[in-house]
């Protein structure tokens, strides 16, 4: 049975494989521009932390206010229905009184 020999060719599966590129890049010390970029991202993240917290708190407060307004609207609709019923009863009572006065 013939044996298959594998050879590493630089153009094929040699030095240019992604794993070797990552390893080679990991072995390099980061440049000043890499560190500046990382620091800039970290500073931006830190600057946006209070803003993110504020938006989260505002969203919570808005949700709370929406729930409160929903309960107020529900109560107002109940009061409206009650007042319409009272108005109808008052109209009926006035009609009875008017009939008695005319008759």
Residue 5, Cβ density class (10 Å: 0-12 exposed, 13-18 middle, ≥19 buried): exposed
Residue-by-residue pLDDT tens, the chain, 103 positions: 555 555 545 555 555 666 666 665 556 676 778 888 888 889 888 888 999 999 999 999 999 999 999 999 999 999 999 999 999 999 999 999 999 999 7
Which residue is listed with tokens 């409206």? Answer: 80
- Is the Cα dihedral 49, 54, 60, 63 positive or negative? negative
């Amino acid at each position: 049975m013939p044996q298959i020999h594998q050879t590493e060719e630089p153009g094929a599966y040699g030095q240019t494989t992604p794993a070797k590129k990552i390893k080679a890049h990991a072995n390099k010390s980061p440049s000043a521009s890499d560190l500046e970029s990382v620091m800039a991202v970290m500073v931006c993240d830190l600057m946006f932390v209070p803003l993110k917290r504020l938006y989260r708190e505002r969203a919570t407060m808005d949700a709370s206010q929406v729930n409160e307004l929903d309960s107020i609207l529900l109560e107002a609709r109940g009061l409206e229905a009650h007042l319409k019923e009272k108005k109808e009863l008052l109209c009926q009572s006035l009609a009875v009184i008017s009939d008695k006065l005319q008759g």
